[in-house]
Amino acid sequence: PSEAHRAAAEARQNVLTKPPGSLGVLEALAIKLAALQATDRPRAARAPIVLFAGDHGVTAQGVSAYPADVTVQMLHNFAAGGAAIAVLARELGVKLHVVDAGTLSEHDVPGVTTDKPRRGTRDFSHEAAMTTDELSFALKAGRRAVERARAGGADIVILGEMGIGNTTSAAAIAASLLGVRAGDVVGAGTGLDAAGVNRKAEVIEAALATHGLRAADVPAAQVLKCVGGLEIAALAGAMIAAAQGRIPVLVDGFIVSVAALGAVRLNPSCAPWLIYSHRSLERGHRVVLDALAAEPLLDLKLRLGEGSGAAAALPLLRLACALHSEMATFADAHISGPES
Amino acid sequence: PSEAHRAAAEARQNVLTKPPGSLGVLEALAIKLAALQATDRPRAARAPIVLFAGDHGVTAQGVSAYPADVTVQMLHNFAAGGAAIAVLARELGVKLHVVDAGTLSEHDVPGVTTDKPRRGTRDFSHEAAMTTDELSFALKAGRRAVERARAGGADIVILGEMGIGNTTSAAAIAASLLGVRAGDVVGAGTGLDAAGVNRKAEVIEAALATHGLRAADVPAAQVLKCVGGLEIAALAGAMIAAAQGRIPVLVDGFIVSVAALGAVRLNPSCAPWLIYSHRSLERGHRVVLDALAAEPLLDLKLRLGEGSGAAAALPLLRLACALHSEMATFADAHISGPES
C-alpha cells in the first residue's frame, strides 16, 4: 500500500463539502483503495468475480444437508446464469470466472475453467484431504485464475466459492489455526439441524486429533493439506497472487474468510489487501473475522457463499470512489467551514 | 401492501437455487417490495431522490457547529452536482429533486424548487417554530414534491434533508414524541463538542417545557408546529403522500427517521411503506429506530444526511430485486434438494 496516496486521500476527504468524517466507512473505503491502488482516484469499476468450486470426501460422513451432486449441478447453474452470483454479476456489470478447482465432475463443464489436481478431496476423517503436490497445484490454480481475471482488467477482485461439505473443511481449518473448539466454529452450513451440527463438530474434532492438528504452531500448509479443500486452497493462492499483483480482494463469507486466514498465515504480507465484505450468519464467521481484526461492510444475514455477499458490497466501494473523486471541495463550492 | 403478492414472493424465494433463507435480508427485501408494489417482479430501478432543505431559528442559540449560511450555500452545491447526494444520484442513475422547503434564501436557486411558507422557522426557544398554517403548507409541500418525483417514474422514493440546526429540531421532536430526555437523543450533529452537545440538550429541554410538550399524548402536529422544521414537516408529508400513492419510501438517517416517527403518528397506515436504510452515528438515531421497530439495512457510521445513507442502500434493493426475478428455480436448473 502507498502511504503517500493514503495521506493524500485523507487530506482530500477533509476538504470535501461535508463535515469531516461524516461519510464514515465510505470515506475509509476510498482512502484504503487509494492507498492499495496507489492512486488519487481509486476505482472499483472493473471487479471480476472468481468463484472456485470443489468437492469434499468428508461428505461421506453425512456433514451436509445437500448431496455432493449439487456441487457439479451448480457449476452448470453458474455457467447458465441462473445462480445467485451469476445474477449479481450481470446486475453489477462484472465478469464471472468459474473455476472447477476440484469437483467430482468427470467432464469439463462449458463456461467453466477446469484446473484441478484431482476429483474431490479424500475423506479427511480417514486420511489427509490432499497430498502436498495436490495442495501446491490448488494454490497455483488460484494464482492462474487471478491472472486470467486480471487480463480482462481488474481494479479489485471478488472471490467466492461453492462446494457441498466445505463449511466442514473450513471449520476444521479455523479450529486448528485458531486453537478453538470445533463447536465454536461449526454452523448449519446449507441447513443442518442441531444433531447434524453436533455430528459435524465431532467429525472435525476427531480428524484434528487424527492428523495431529491440535499441536501448537502447526504450519498452515499442513492444516490445508490434511483438512482443507481444493477450492479453499485455490482461494488462498488467489489472495496471495492478487496481493502480489497489487489488486485488492473483496472477501466473501465464512469459507473465503477461512481461506483468508490461511493466506495470511502462509504469507502475512497479503493481509492489507483483503477487504472483508460481510458478516454471514454461519456461526464460525464471527470468530474468524475477529481473529483477522476484520470489520466487514455488511451484515445481511447471508449464508449462501458463491461470493454473493462480496458482490453485494461492491456498490459501496463504487459509491465511495465516486464520492471521493467527484465531490466538490469547500473552496470550490464557496461553502463556509465550521464556526470557530 | 398486497398479502397475496407477499405470499407468492415467499413461495418463489423458497424454490430458487439456494438453501431457503440463505440470502437473508436480500430475500426479505424482495418479498417486502413485492408486497408493497403488488407485483411478482419488484423493482427499484426508478428511485428518485427528494431532498428537502430548511433553516432553523434555533440556530441563534448556538446549537450547530456550522453557520446557518451553509444551508443556502449547499442548495447551490446540490444543484451544481458537487454535494455527496448529487454524486450518489449520478452514480446510481437516479434523479435528484431538491426542494427549498424553508431556507433563509431570499431568491430562487436555479435547479431547486422553492415551495416554502416562510424563510426559516422561528427560534423555538422563544416561540413556536411555525404557525398551524405554515405547518400545513410544509406538509403539503412534501406531497407536491412526491407528485413531481412520481411524474418522472418511481418504483421507490428516496428521502433526504439538509438544514443547519435540524438535528436540534429532530431531537426535540423525538424527545417529546417518545417521552425521553433530550440528553438521550442529542448528538454532535455536524460536529459539536461535548459542551456544545450539553448546551443543545438544555435548549431542547427548556423549549419542551415552554411549549408544554412534556405532557402525555401531545398530538404530533402540535410537536411539529412548536419545535419542528419546515423540511422535517415536508418529509412527513412526503411519506404520507408516498404511502397513499403506494410508493415505498427509503428512509435516510436521524432527521428523516424522526420525520418518519412524526408521519407514523400523524397517519399510522404509512408505516409499512417505510424502509429504513441505515443506522447513523448520530446518537439519537438508535432510540428512534428502536421506537419504530426498524432494522436498518446498513451500519456505515454515516452522519451526513442529504439522503446519502438511503442512496447507499439502493443497490441492495436493486440486487434483491434482480435475484428475485432472475435466479433459476431448482426444477428449472435440475438441481437436487436437501437430503431427507
Measure CB to CB from residue B70 to each of A76, A87, A336 and give the nearest one: A336
- Tens of pLDDT, residues A193-241: 999 999 999 999 999 999 999 998 999 999 999 999 999 999 999 999 9
- Residues A319, B311: C-beta atoms closer than 8 Å: yes
The ipTM of this complex is 0.97
Q: Which of B324, B325, B335, B340 to mutate to test the interface with A (most CBs of A within 10 A)?
A: B335
Tell if the CB–CB gap between A77 and B326 is shorter than 8 Å.
no
pLDDT at B24: 98
What lies within 8 Å, CB to CB, of A57 at 6+ separation is A120, A121, A122, A123, A124, A129
- Give CA–CA dist B78/B71, Å, rounded: 10
Contact A297/B300, CB-based, under 8 Å? Answer: yes
From B93's Cα to the closest Cα of chain A, the distance in A is: 12
**Choice among A184-193, A321-330, B113-122, B200-209 with the minimum mean pLDDT:** A184-193
Q: Best residue in B25, B26, B109, B192 to probe A by mutation, most A CBs within 10 Å?
A: B26
Shortest Cα distance, chain B CAs vs residue A319, angstroms: 7
Mutate to test the interface with A, among B323, B330, B334, B340 (most CBs of A within 10 A): B323
B31 Cβ partners below 8 Å, 6+ apart?
B6, B9, B10, B13, B324
Packing angle of the helix pair B308-326, B24-37 (nearest 10 deg): 90
Q: Which CATH number fits domain B49-315: 3.40.50.10210, 3.30.70.980, 3.40.50.300, 3.40.50.11540?
A: 3.40.50.10210
- CB contacts, 8 Å: B18 with chain A: 84, 304
pLDDT of residue B340: 60
Average pLDDT over residues B136-145: 98
| pLDDT 10s digits, B35-71 | 999 999 999 999 999 999 999 999 999 999 899 999 9
Q: Chain A residue with minimal CA distance to B317?
A: A312
The CATH code for residues A49-316 is 3.40.50.10210
For chain B, give the secondary structure using H, E and C.
CCHHHHHHHHHHHCCECCCCCCCHHHHHHHHHHHHHHCCCCCCCCCCCEEEEEECCHHHHHCCCCCCCHHHHHHHHHHHHCCCHHHHHHHHHCCCEEEEEEECCCCCCCCCEEECCCCCCCCCCCCCCCCCHHHHHHHHHHHHHHHHHHHHCCCCCEEEEEECCCHHHHHHHHHHHHHCCCHHHHCCCCCCCCHHHHHHHHHHHHHHHHHCCCCCCCCCHHHHHHHHCCHHHHHHHHHHHHHHHCCCCEEECCHHHHHHHHHHHHHCHHHHHHEEECECCCCCCHHHHHHHCCCCCCECCCCCCCCCHHHHHHHHHHHHHHHHHHHCCEHHHHCCCCCCC
CA distance B244 to chain A (A): 29
CATH number of A3-42+324-333: 1.10.1610.10
Rg for chain B (alpha carbons), in Å?
20
The SS3 of residue A275 is strand
Q: Could you tell me the CA-to-CA distances from A249 to A82, A271, A276 in Å, in that order?
A: 25, 10, 8
Q: Which chain B residue's Cα is nearest to A318?
A: B91
Identical fold for domains A3-42+324-333 and A49-316, yes or no, is no
Backbone angles phi, psi at B173, to 5 degrees: -60, -45
Q: What is the pLDDT of residues B82-110, one digit of tens each?
A: 999 999 999 999 999 999 999 999 999 99
Q: Tell me which residues of chain A have a pLDDT lower than 70.
A: 340
Nearest CB to B83; choose among A17, A69, A339: A17
Inter-chain touch B299–A300, beta carbons under 8 Å: no
- pLDDT tens sequence across A263-282: 999 999 999 999 999 999 99
- Binary contact (B302, A87; C-beta < 8 A): no
Mark yes or no for CB contact A65/B338 under 8 Å: yes
Residue of A nearest to B303 (CA): A22
Cα separation, B202 vs B205, in Å, equals 5
Across the range B234-245, mean pLDDT stands at 98
What residue spans define the domains of chain B?
3-42+324-333, 49-315
Do the chains contact at A22 and B65, CB–CB below 8 Å?
A: no
Rounded CA-CA distance B213/B180 in Å is: 12
- A&B contacts, CB < 8 Å: 190
pLDDT on residue A340: 61
Confidence of residue B339 (pLDDT cuts 50, 70, 90): confident
Burial of A277 (0-12, 13-18, 19+ CB in 10 A): buried
Contacting residues of B for A281, CB less than 8 Å apart? 24
- Cross-strand partners of B100: B53, B114
**Model confidence at B246: pLDDT above 80:** yes
Burial A13-52, CB ≥16 within 10 A → b, else e: beebbbbebbbbbbbbbbbbbbbbbebeebbbebbbbbbb
Residue B10 has pLDDT above 90, yes or no: yes
What's the confidence (pLDDT) of residue B202?
97
On the CB side of B295, CA atoms within 13 Å amount to 7
As annotated, the active-site residues of B are 306
Yes or no, beta carbons of A322 and B84 under 8 Å apart:
no
Whether B136 and B144 have beta carbons less than 8 Å apart is answered as no
Among residues A146, A165, A164, the alpha carbon closest in space to that of A156 is found at A146
Pairing between strand B249-251 and B96-102? unpaired
